[in-house]
């Protein structure tokens, strides 16, 4: 029996919220309450705020090579530690917040890298072949949903399905079915953005996670979309257009709201450090986090084919490049102004 003072659950919550993940996983078997505590969403939110560092970035190539990057502080210096993740062959991945959806040809699962928990998504009937899973987060109701695009090659159409994590046991079909392309999208403020073929052009489909309704956003130029990457910049949708990276810069286009309630793509240029200028095929992947844009670069691509480049070199050279505008050219050094500065 509890011979001395018994510690209220709210205090266990507070104490546990300061523990590292590995201890939390181990202490799940202390008592049943600890197990349910650690799995709860209130607890994960508090824990995420209180834990310093942690996996912040997840970089992925178009194929199945993933890297996680962890921001660490040691001796007052902060640096990024990048680790290669072993993923199952030919798997794909989509992420929002700290949660990942990972899938192969036959099954899909939600993966939480901090807790290393995996939950499988409902199965689909066999005649549908899954094309792409997109993970969405709806902040108002604090719900995660997965948008699945399936391909029906013989019949020549695509369908879309939604499931709510934690409540739904199956998939439900969406009302409309635009021709979403099987490329990574991005989820910003409860809206999943994906490339789509719409009225014979490439455009962006915006899927509202709450209402489950699609709307379409036109591109400034619908022909070179293969080199576009959707990212978030300060809560706005943006596209990195890196087909011309050989020349030492990329275009960043941010979808701005005009005063007439219309949307417009505003173009900016991000310059790369001069030391990268002679390296062909630089960018493997990019993503944004906390107002900064991160590029993963391949500095060994001259000698090595794409899939077997030297990982060590990447670890050493993955510099942070901050988004800078046209007028802050500083030859020989990293561009200085960040997205946050510009605000």
Partner 1 sequence: MASTTETKQKKMLILKSADNDEFEIEESVGVQSETIKNLVEDGFTFVPLPNVYTKALIKIIDYLKKHANKTDSNDEEIKTFDKDFVNTTFDDLFELVSAANYLHISCLMNMLCQTIADRIKDKSPEAVRKIFHINCDYTPEEEAKIRKANAQAFEGQFDESLD
| Interacting residues with partner 1 (CB under 8 A) | 1-8, 10-12, 14-20, 22-32, 35, 116
Q: How long is the chain? A: 343
Kindly state the smallest distance separating residue 17's Cβ from partner 1, in Å.
7
CB of 170 to partner 1, least distance (A): 25
Question: What percent helix, strand, coil does the chain show, rounded to 5?
Answer: 15, 40, 40
Residues near 239 by beta carbon (within 8 Å), at least 6 away in sequence? 219, 228, 229, 230, 231, 252, 253, 265
Strand 99-103: give its sheet, edge to edge.
Answer: 92-96, 99-103, 108-112, 117-120
Q: Which is nearer to partner 1, 22 or 169 (CB)?
A: 22
Residue 328, φ and ψ in degrees, nearest 5:
-115, 55
Give me the torsion for CA of 40, 43, 49, 51, rounded to 10°: -100
β-bridge mates for residue 268, sequence order = 252
| Residue closer to partner 1 (CB basis): 52 or 223 | 52
Spell out the alpha helix ranges (H) of the chain.
9-16, 21-27, 32-39, 41-50, 311-317, 339-342
- Work out how close the CB of 87 gets to partner 1 at its nearest, in angstroms, rounded to a whole number: 17
Closest CB to partner 1 among residues 14, 42:
14
Query: Min. distance of Cβ 120 from partner 1 in angstroms?
Result: 14
Q: Tell me whether residue 8 or residue 331 sits nearer to partner 1 (CB atom).
A: 8
Q: Which is nearer to partner 1, 44 or 150 (CB)?
A: 44
Residue 162 in contact with residue 212, Cβ under 8 Å? yes
For the beta carbon of residue 18, count every other beta carbon within 10 angstroms: 11
Interatomic CA distance for residues 252 and 230, integer angstroms: 10
Q: How far is the CB of 18 from partner 1 (least distance, A)?
A: 4
Q: How far is the CB of 39 from partner 1 (least distance, A)?
A: 11
The least distance separating partner 1 from the CB of residue 56, rounded to whole angstroms, comes to 21
27 or 227, CB closer to partner 1? 27
Q: How far is the CB of 115 from partner 1 (least distance, A)?
A: 9
Within 13 Å and on the Cβ side, how many CA atoms surround 256? 11
Q: Name residue 241's beta-bridge partners.
A: 228, 251
User: Which pairing describes strands 55-60 and 92-96: parallel, antiparallel, or unpaired?
Assistant: unpaired
Burial class (CB in 10 A: 0-12, 13-18, 19+), 262: exposed
Q: How far is the CB of 118 from partner 1 (least distance, A)?
A: 10
Query: Which residue carries 């403020």 as its tokens?
Result: 189
The residue (of 40 and 182) whose beta carbon lies closer to partner 1 is 40
Compare residues 22 and 343 and give the one whose CB is closer to partner 1.
22
Token pair for residue 123? 């199965």
Pick the closer one to partner 1 by CB: 36 or 170: 36
């Amino acid at each position: 029996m509890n011979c001395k003072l018994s510690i209220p659950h709210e205090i266990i919550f507070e104490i546990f919220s300061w523990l590292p993940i590995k201890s939390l996983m181990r202490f799940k078997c202390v008592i049943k309450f600890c197990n349910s505590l650690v799995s709860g969403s209130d607890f994960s939110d508090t824990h995420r705020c209180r834990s310093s560092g942690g996996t912040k970035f997840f970089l992925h190539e178009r194929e199945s090579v993933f890297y996680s990057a962890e921001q660490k502080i040691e001796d007052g210096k902060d640096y990024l530690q990048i680790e290669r993740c072993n993923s199952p062959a030919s798997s794909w991945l989509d992420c929002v917040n700290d949660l990942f959806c990972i899938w192969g040809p036959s099954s899909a699962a939600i993966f939480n890298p901090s807790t290393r928990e995996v939950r499988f998504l409902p199965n689909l009937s066999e005649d549908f072949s899954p094309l792409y899973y997109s993970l969405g987060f709806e902040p108002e109701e604090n719900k995660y949903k997965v948008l699945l695009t399936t391909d029906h090659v013989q019949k020549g159409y695509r369908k879309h399905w939604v499931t709510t994590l934690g409540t739904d046991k199956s998939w439900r079909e969406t009302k409309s079915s635009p021709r979403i392309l099987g490329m990574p999208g991005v989820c910003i403020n409860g809206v999943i953005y994906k490339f789509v073929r719409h009225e014979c052009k490439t455009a962006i489909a915006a899927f509202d996670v709450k209402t489950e309704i699609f709307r379409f956003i036109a591109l400034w130029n619908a022909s070179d979309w293969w080199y576009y990457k959707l990212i978030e910049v300060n809560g706005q949708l943006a596209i990195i257009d890196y087909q011309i990276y050989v020349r030492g810069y990329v275009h960043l286009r941010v979808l701005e709201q005009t005063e007439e309630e219309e949307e417009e793509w505003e173009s900016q240029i991000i310059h790369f450090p001069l030391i990268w200028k002679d390296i062909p095929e630089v960018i493997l992947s990019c993503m944004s986090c906390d107002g900064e844009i991160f590029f993963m670069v391949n500095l060994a691509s001259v000698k090595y084919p794409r899939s077997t480049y030297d990982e060590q070199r990447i670890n050493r050279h993955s510099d942070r490049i901050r988004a800078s505008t046209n007028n802050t050219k500083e030859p020989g050094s990293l561009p200085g102004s960040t997205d946050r500065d510009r605000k």
